[in-house]
Structure 1
Amino acid sequence: MEDKILKTFGIHLKTLRKEHGLSQEDLADKARLDRTYVSGVETGKRNISLKALNSIANALDKNLSQLFEGMQ
């Protein structure tokens, strides 16, 4: 179950990032995260922390709840 949610969120995050016209490196810079961390989240290999989720939400001009809208 955990692996499925990580992969599902990763796919969703990748879609959001691309909708904002950002590369993984661009998003990582805006969120003050390492690019490899963002890559790991998008591929479902990293269990993202709440702090990192908040940083990514801010980088995408969203709040935390908006970050999950439309996620399947």
Structure 2
Amino acid sequence: MWRAKRGLTQKELATEVDVSRQTINAIEGNRYDSSLELGFKLATYFDC
């Protein structure tokens, strides 16, 4: 949702937070619970 609102591809977001595109895809599909570190990176990136 946040990614799409900003018009980012999964690859672009993955590059920004230093993970694979597959990780972003799995998080969006509710098939992966991110680490606390990745959660903080995403929150910081999206300023929330």
- In which range does the TM-score fall when normalised by the shorter chain? 0.7 to 0.9
- Structure 1 runs (4+) deviating above 4 angstroms are none
Structure 1 residues without counterparts, runs of 5 or longer: 1-14, 67-72
Structure 1 match to 2:31: 45
Determine what percentage of the aligned residue pairs are the same residue: 23
Q: How many residues align?
A: 48
Higher helix content, 1 or 2: 1
CA RMSD of aligned residues (A): 1.0
Greater radius of gyration (CA):
1
Cα drift, residue 58 of structure 1 = 2.5
Name the TM-score, length of structure 2 as normaliser: 0.86
Higher relative contact order (CA 8 A, sep 6+): 1
- TM-score, structure 1 length as denominator? 0.61
